[in-house]
Each structure stands twice: as structure tokens, then as C-alpha cells.
Amino acid sequence: MSQNLFPSSLVGLRVFMVGIKGSGMTALAELVKHMGALPQGSDTNETFYTDAILNELGIPIIEGFNKNNLPSDCDLVVYSAAYDPATHPELLAAAERDLPMLSYPEALGQLSRRVPSVGISGVHGKTTTTAMAGELIRLGKLPGNVLVGGASLGFGGRQVYTGGERFLVAETCEYRRHFLTFTPTVLVLTGIEADHLDYYRNYDDIHSAFLEYSERIAMGGSLVYCADNAGACEVAAAVATQRPDVRRIPYGHTAEGGFRIHEVSYEAGKQLFRLEGVAEPFELPVPGRHNQLNAAAALAAVDELCRAVDLPALRAEVATAALAGFRGTKRRAEHRGEHRGVLFMDDYGHHPTAITGTLEGLREFFPGRRLVVDFMSHTFSRTEALLQEFATCFAAADLVILHKIYASAREQYDGSVDGHVLYHAVSAHHAAVQYFEEPLDAVPYLREVLQPGDLFVTLGAGDNWRIIDTLLELPEFSSLGAP
């Protein structure tokens, strides 16, 4: 555990943030500014959506990295976990000046120990679950802060809601065990599967990280877990044995208790479900069985949070209104528009389980549309380890378009798998698959094949979302050309 470097009051604390344009870093900058700190930072000169947020907040940005960027009156340096203190020029300069330093996970972890905190974790669904919890908190006017790992449309495209200082709700990431800096009063576990296989050796390795995270739950705290996921249930069983002081709250279609999902139905553009013992159904305007689970997790988390900080339970009418009005987050079933009868959507799903759930959800929501899917796989290690799962996860699509693998700086290509290998694997199970090495190479083909009534979705953690931007600039799909 890192030394506590945040003072009891953040008012006037001068924080320099290395890699400030990263989504988590921008959110952290907004949060500490709300708490009275004076953040500024540095990053590359590339423009991200976070530039607009930082400018709106009046947080100074220095473009480019240089040891001379560090201000003379700096109290604390916070840096993105993507940067190595042993090699980054600004972090080396901070060390020479003996300035206190925290990585982003360490800084978030220290904030979690100041107030009762909810850590939302899991291989899938944590961003949406955190955003849903944020909407419940925002509409319920509960006095705490929420930090989402992606831009929440309900927060005006921002990642942070600031409603008071009584508690913190934050998305916490399993990559490189970063979440082990966080101390949750309530831990939400949406599920465990093999992932991040450039770091974790196998499923058992990542499972052990989640088990270790559960051991960090504060005395008398709660574990909210998905009863439909075997890995989450295994962790819950271990908690029951090792931590009898921790309340265990299951949710899901197979759960027992108040967060059992049942009576699921679908109408045009929405899905409905009930929870055990709740008279009125909940309505969701976002597709997928996985979003029923995310909603139940958010409801259970906020219920446990209110109990932990001695607040009245959220009123039923507030909860139903928050979920019915949930607009989602960027890159999670994000509507990009409908033009000339073609509906354009973008989604971040990049694990086979997430892909299957997303496509089946879209099929349920839009049963009359032809589903055209453009997917760009992320990381060679994930593609190789889960190749057979990728081969069969596109069953709900009518047409699949694939590309080269979107590489990560954290791994080296060893030549064992590439986009063509993925194409042949998927083609063995799907009758309509096309391959274009670069995403934008597919634009002329899509211009010819997309037709009124289609749903076109870009899928993955790569940059194939640029295809939609390019298509919407064409006369036949532009808003000016739409009927």
C-alpha cells in the first residue's frame, strides 16, 4: 500500500498530472479540482475528446513531455500507469526533486480510503454498471462522487458526477492488478473470465486477482456479485468462508433474493424486466441481456451504499426513472445516427463473450434489420488465446467484416496470429465474412452493400469506429442528405 500523500484537505493542493488527457486521468483531474485542488498536466499533442473537457474545466495542459514542464511550486505528481517512472523524463525530474508521486491507480486508491467507497469491477460491464449507478445517484441527489471509466452521456459526455463528499463510486480495473490499490466498502463483481492474457497467465491467474481484491473489502462491507457467472460465485463462496463479516448480495437471472431478474420482455427500442419483490417493472432503452445484469448490479450497489453511509434507500420512482432515461456511455451500444434507413452504432465490445451478448441484444432490439458487423480485434495475445471463441461469437450477425489486429504497445507480435488467421477461423463458422486489412479500406464495399433497413455496427477496442465517421461524410449517408 502506497503512503497516503493526499492531505486531509485538498484545497489549494498543486497537482501535476503526467498523461492528463487519458480518460481516467482527466476524470481524476476533474474530481480533485472539485475537491479544491489545482490540477494541471502534460500529454502528447494529439487531440482527444478529453481536451475539450479539460479546457472547459480551465485545467492547463502542456503538450509534449519535457523535464522542464514540472512547475516549481508542485506539491504532488500523479502519472498515468502507461508511463514508467524509470524512463519518463518528467517522472525522472520529479524523482530528482524528491517530489511525492502516485500512479493513477494509487491516487484513486488513496481517495477510496477517505470515505466509504464502491469499487465496480469485472471483466465485462463495469463501465456501464458504474454509469448506471451514477444515474441512480444523480437523480436521487445522493451526496457523493462518481467516476466512470468512459464518457457517460447522462453526465453530459463527462466521466465524473460530483454531488458531495459522503462517498465515492468508481470503476476499478483488473489490468496488472491495478484495482488492488482500492479499498471498497462495497465491491461489485460483474464476472470473471480469461482476459488481459498479455499480463495474466490464464483464468486461474486473473481469478486470483479478483479473489485478492475481495479480501480488501472494509470490515462489515458488502460483496455484490453476479450469480449467473461461475467465477463471481466462486469468489463469493470464498468470501463466505474467509470473511463472515462481509454481506453477500447476489444479482442476476439465477440469483436468490431481492435482485433476481425475471419476467423479461421486449418492446420497440426497449427491454423490460422485474426484480423479485418490486411491483413495477424496470425499463431499459439499451439492448442486451448483459444490460439487465448491469442494471441489477447498479441497483444493488446503490442500495448497499445507502445502507453503508446511513442514507434512506433510493425511492422506487427515482430508480425506475433513472434506468428508463439511461442514455449509455460512449462506445457502448452508442447510436451514431440513422441515415437513408441505415442505423449506425458503435460498441467497445472486444471479448467473445461481450460480442455474443451485444449482437444477440441488438438482434432482440432490432429483429427486422439486417445486422452488418465490422470488428477489429484488439491485441495479438487475446486473439490467439481466444481464437476458437472468436470463431463462433458472430452467429447473430448477417454479415461480418474483419481487419488486421489492432496492436497494443504492451506486447510484441510473434507472428503466430494475425487478421487473416482470425478471418479463416470465423469463415469456418459463418457464411458471410469479408476481410479488409485497414478499416477504411472497407468503406467502398460498405458504400455498395449497405441498404435501407440495415443496422451497421462497428465493434471492438480498435479504431475501426472511423469507418462510421467516413461513411457519414458521404452524400448518401450525411445528415444533409438524409430524408
The CATH number of 334-471 is 3.90.190.20
Domain assignments of the chain as residue spans, ordered by start: 14-103, 115-324, 334-471
Which string of b and e fits 386-411 if b means at least 16 CB within 10 Å?
A: bbebbbebbebbbbbbbbbbbeeeee
> pLDDT tens, position by position, for the chain (483 residues)?
456 888 989 999 999 999 999 888 999 999 999 999 999 999 998 888 889 899 999 999 999 999 999 999 999 999 998 899 999 999 999 999 999 999 999 999 999 999 999 999 998 888 899 999 999 999 999 999 999 987 777 787 788 999 999 999 999 988 788 999 999 999 999 999 876 666 667 888 989 999 999 999 999 999 999 999 999 999 999 999 999 999 999 999 999 999 999 999 988 778 999 998 788 899 998 888 889 999 999 999 999 999 999 999 999 999 999 999 987 666 666 778 888 889 998 987 778 888 998 898 888 888 889 999 999 998 888 898 889 999 999 999 999 999 999 886 666 667 788 999 999 999 999 999 999 999 999 999 999 999 999 999 999 888 899 999 999 988 878 754 443
- Which residue type is seen at 129? T
Helices vs strands, H then E, count in the chain: 15, 21
**Distance (Å) of CA 425 to CA 386, 402, 458:** 11, 11, 20
Report the sign of the C-alpha dihedral through residues 147, 151, 152, 157, in that order. Answer: positive
Start-to-end Cα distance in the chain: 59
According to the model, what pLDDT value does residue 411 have?
64
- Which residue type is seen at 258? G
Q: CB of 268 within 8 A of CB of 366? A: no
97: left (phi over 0), alpha (psi -120 to 50) or beta: alpha
Residues 210 and 201: their CA atoms lie apart, in Å, by 14
- Number of Cβ within 10 Å of residue 367's Cβ equals 10
According to the model, what pLDDT value does residue 1 have?
45
Residue 290: name the closest of 271, 269, 268, 317 by CA. 271
79: left (phi over 0), alpha (psi -120 to 50) or beta: beta
CATH of 14-103, one of 1.10.1740.10, 3.30.465.10, 3.40.50.720, 3.30.300.30: 3.40.50.720
Strand pairing of 101-103 and 117-121?
unpaired
By residue count, the chain amounts to 483
Report the sign of the C-alpha dihedral through residues 187, 189, 190, 194, in that order. Answer: positive
Strand order in the sheet with 342-347: 334-339, 342-347, 454-459, 370-375, 399-402, 433-435
Q: Within 13 Å and on the Cβ side, how many CA atoms surround 230?
A: 4
According to the model, what pLDDT value does residue 304 have?
97
Backbone dihedral angles phi then psi of residue 152, each to the nearest 5 degrees: -95, 125
pTM beyond 0.75: the answer is yes
Q: CB of 137 within 8 A of CB of 302? A: yes
The CATH number of 115-324 is 3.40.1190.10
